[in-house]
């Protein structure tokens, strides 16, 4: 099938590449010409495990193309995906200007029936808005479909190729058939393509992300309580996770959720509820807890150094909002850097993939190390921010040689407490006993 993907960010590029992988002809279009040129030269603009191989193969086999010309991209496409940003507007609601702007441009260009799919995360009612904008700009027949994306950065290719489920919101028969045909190869093992109306589909995405964010905030509150009552959050997690009704996943406590989705999606759902005169109390608490949790690690650091961080040197392991991505949008690391630097501390960071993005954002506000051990040179303490695999079993002897003091603040609970006692570290993690 001929497909166009408008917007080649984390979602659009993975979508386009994975759709080409099953034999479709895909043209990806982006307004960022520098990015388009890069992709035309066969270079990936983002880090996403497994993507490079598929990207190269499909470009090589001429199924995956890039352009900055929308007309060229959609001319022959049966289905047009919009994978455009929906950042928070000033009031927290999702900014639909990218989606509605592209819908208008698409409408002006189409000459035959097209299925226009919103892959961006958009509030309930957006399909109606897209339809209205398009109707005002064309007399040609079209269908607007909601098809939210559930991929996780870091395992995006796997998630797209083998989704737990595909949600498609449309009441248009022709569109439904085309979408079923397109997704068929991805659900051969029997995972469902769930068809529903557009509004339910739009809300499903926000409900999923908000529920997951709720789990995180809930566990962070349990962790904070654990510290007060002398319990161990990792034990509690295992204890409740064994209950099938609760499940093992998304129960890790830490330093708050970040990334390009959870913060903005929880906020947008709360705003959407408010606009409909519904006070979504749980969501407001989820956000409040997260704001506090983002600062928990720095509070621990300040307490240890008796409020005086001036001139103190900190090594920081991890900058990305989670492992296996270079994405730093709303990353807890950024808040922690701000707080430490504002208090007069000197920060040297290492991240396997996200350092360039952080350099672009904060420049020389912090120092950057070539590897995780170099970051420790003469540091008063190490802060663990992202749970990259390489930080899980480090060479503690090499660490001892570099660190000025054997002090670790671990926002991800990577190390065994008994081991830290044996190694003689001061070790302050989240929701567990303080080793001092």
Ligand X SMILES: NC(=O)c1ccc[n+]([C@@H]2O[C@H](COP(=O)([O-])OP(=O)(O)OC[C@H]3O[C@@H](n4cnc5c(N)ncnc54)[C@H](O)[C@@H]3O)[C@@H](O)[C@H]2O)c1
Structure tokens at 133: 């904008």
Report 136-155 residues binding ligand X (CB under 6 A).
149, 151, 153
Contact call for residues 121 and 84 (beta carbons, < 8 A): no
Active site residue 261: yes
Residue of 358, 345, 357, 393 whose CA lies nearest to 372? 393
CA 323/CA 387 separation, integer angstroms: 6
Question: Minimum distance between the CB of residue 11 and ligand X, rounded to whole angstroms?
Answer: 3
Choose the stretch contacting ligand X; rule: CB under 6 A; options: 5-13, 181-189, 275-283, 339-347.
Answer: 5-13
Q: Of 203, 213, 198, 201, nearest to 273 (Cα)?
A: 203
Spatial contact of 267 and 288, defined as CB atoms under 8 Å apart:
no
By beta-carbon proximity to ligand X, the closer residue of 34 and 135 is 34
Binding residue (CB under 6 A) for ligand X from 4, 5, 7, 296 = 7
CB of 418 to ligand X, least distance (A): 37
* SS3 labels along 312-380: CEEEEECCCCCCCCCCCCCCHHHHHHHHHHHCCCEEEEECCCCHHHHHHHHHHHCEECCCCCHHHCCCC
Q: Single out the residue of 3, 4, 5, 12 in contact with ligand X (rule: CB under 6 A).
A: 12
**Closest to 138 (Cα-Cα) out of 121, 169, 170, 116:** 116
In the complex, least distance from residue 355 CB atom to ligand X, rounded to whole angstroms: 18
Strand order in the sheet with 426-428: 367-368, 346-350, 313-317, 381-384, 407-410, 426-428
11 binds ligand X (CB under 6 A): yes
- Note the Cα 372 to chain centre separation in Å: 23
Contact region with ligand X (CB under 6 A), list: 94-102, 271-279, 338-346, 418-426: 94-102
Q: Which of 2, 22, 25, 32 binds ligand X (CB under 6 A)?
A: 32
Tell me how far, at minimum, the Cβ of 154 lies from ligand X, in Å.
9
Binding mask 47-86 for ligand X (x = CB under 6 A): ------------------------------------xxxx
Structure tokens at 43: 């270079």
CB 17, min distance to ligand X, A? 13
Q: Which stretch binds ligand X (CB under 6 A): 10-18, 130-138, 286-294, 332-340?
A: 10-18
Note whether 372 and 391 are within 8 A (CB).
yes
CB of 230 to ligand X, least distance (A): 38
Candidate segments 29-37, 194-202, 352-360, 421-429, binder of ligand X by CB under 6 A: 29-37
Establish if 30 lies at the interface with ligand X (CB under 6 A). Answer: yes
Shortest distance in whole angstroms from residue 298 CB to ligand X: 26
- Beta-bridge partner residues of 346: 313
CB-nearer residue toward ligand X: 109 or 292: 109
Token readout for 32 is 């960022």
The stretch near ligand X (CB under 6 A) out of 27-35, 217-225, 354-362, 382-390 is 27-35
Backbone dihedral region of 431: left (phi > 0), alpha (psi from -120 to 50 degrees) or beta? left
DSSP classification of residue 94? B
Q: Which of 44, 67, 75, 98 binds ligand X (CB under 6 A)?
A: 98
Catalytic residue set: 261
Residues found near ligand X in the complex (CB under 6 A):
6-12, 29-32, 35, 83-86, 98, 101-102, 120-121, 149, 151, 153, 260-261
């Amino acid at each position: 099938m001929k497909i166009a993907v408008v917007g080649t960010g984390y979602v659009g590029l993975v979508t386009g590449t994975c759709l080409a992988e099953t034999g479709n002809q895909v043209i990806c279009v982006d307004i960022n010409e520098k990015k388009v040129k890069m992709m035309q030269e066969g270079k990936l603009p983002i880090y996403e495990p497994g993507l490079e191989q598929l990207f190269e193969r499909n470009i090589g086999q001429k199924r995956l193309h890039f352009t900055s010309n929308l007309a060229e991209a959609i001319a022959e496409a049966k289905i047009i995906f919009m994978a455009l940003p929906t950042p928070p507007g000033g009031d927290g609601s999702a900014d639909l200007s990218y989606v509605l702007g592209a819908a208008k441009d698409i409408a002006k260009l189409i000459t035959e029936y097209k299925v226009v799919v919103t892959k961006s995360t958009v509030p309930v009612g957006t399909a109606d808005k897209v339809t209205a904008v398009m109707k005002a700009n064309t007399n040609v027949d079209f269908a607007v479909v909601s098809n939210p994306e559930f991929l996780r950065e870091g395992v995006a290719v796997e998630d797209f190729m083998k989704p737990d489920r595909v949600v498609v919101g449309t009441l248009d028969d022709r569109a439904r058939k085309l979408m079923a045909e397109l997704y068929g190869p991805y659900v051969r093992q029997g995972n469902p393509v769930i068809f529903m109306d557009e509004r339910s589909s739009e809300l499903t995405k926000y409900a999923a992300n908000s529920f997951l964010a709720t789990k995180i905030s809930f566990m962070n509150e349990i962790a904070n309580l654990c510290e007060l009552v002398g319990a161990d959050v990792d034990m509690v997690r295992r204890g409740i996770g064994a209950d099938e009704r609760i499940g093992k996943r998304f129960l890790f406590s830490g330093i708050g959720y970040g990334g390009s989705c959870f913060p903005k999606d929880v906020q947008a759902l709360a705003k959407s509820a408010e606009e409909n005169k519904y006070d979504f109390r749980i969501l407001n608490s989820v956000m409040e807890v997260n704001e506090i949790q983002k600062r928990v690690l720095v509070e621990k650091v300040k307490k240890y150094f008796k409020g005086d961080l001036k001139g103190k040197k900190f090594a920081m392991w991890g900058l990305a909002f989670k492992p296996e991505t270079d994405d730093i949008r709303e990353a807890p690391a950024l808040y922690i850097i701000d707080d430490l630097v504002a208090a007069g501390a000197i920060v040297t960071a290492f991240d396997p993939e996200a350092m360039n993005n952080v350099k672009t954002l904060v420049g020389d506000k912090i120092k950057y190390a070539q590897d995780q051990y170099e970051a420790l040179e003469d540091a008063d303490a190490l802060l663990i921010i992202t749970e990259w695999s390489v930080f899980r079993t480090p060479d503690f002897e090499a660490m001892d040689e570099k660190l000025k003091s054997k002090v670790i603040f671990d926002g991800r609970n990577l190390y065994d407490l008994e081991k830290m006692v044996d190694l003689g570290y001061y070790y302050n993690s989240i929701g567990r006993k303080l080793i001092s």
